Amino acid sequence: MIEWLPENLWALWLTLFLMFAVVEMLTLDLFFIMLGGGALAGLVAAFAGADFGLQIVAFCVVSLLMIGFVRPVALKHLHKGPADRRSNVERLIGESALVMESVSENGGLVKIGGDVWSARSETGVLAPGQHAIVSAIDGATAVVAPEPETAIQ
């Protein structure tokens, strides 16, 4: 094994690239994939017949260039869009909800976009069939308030 490795350094660079790719899939930080690009440069240098020292230089130079120049551009494109873009349950805030079971400050059920949620009311009791607005999500509970036009006066 010891004699085989110096003659086949490409296998070392390929293994290193695959390890960096796996770590990148786990972290999603766009750092280790840049090191993987450096490992690919070392692989190309190994296939070109460069000695091990030159392969390491190729790895270091390409990795540093990718971290310094490619990663910031890639991160900028990943975070493109409005900073206040809501996702997941945050997108439900402001949505209309249909009261399924009477909702009070202690609990009840509402239907939001086809899903039934446990809910509690901010103000008073909401009757079944009444429409409400989701004002917040607290864990797995929707905090609702009556819609202005359906509020009981």
Q: What is the pLDDT of residues 42-80, one digit of tens each?
A: 999 999 999 999 999 999 999 999 999 999 999 888 877
What's the mean pLDDT in 98-104? 93
Q: Could you please report the per-residue DSSP string of 77-106?
A: HHT-S-TT---GGGGGTT-EEEEEE-B-SS
Whether 132 shows a pLDDT value over 60: the answer reads yes
> Which tokens in the block code for residue 117?
């949620």
124 close to 152: Cβ distance less than 8 angstroms: yes
- Tell me the average pLDDT across 11-15: 94
Q: How far apart are CA 146 and CA 134, in angstroms?
A: 9
Q: What architecture (CATH level 2) is domain 88-148?
A: Beta Barrel (2.40)
State the span(s) of the chain assigned CATH 2.40.50.140: 88-148
Q: Model pTM? A: 0.54
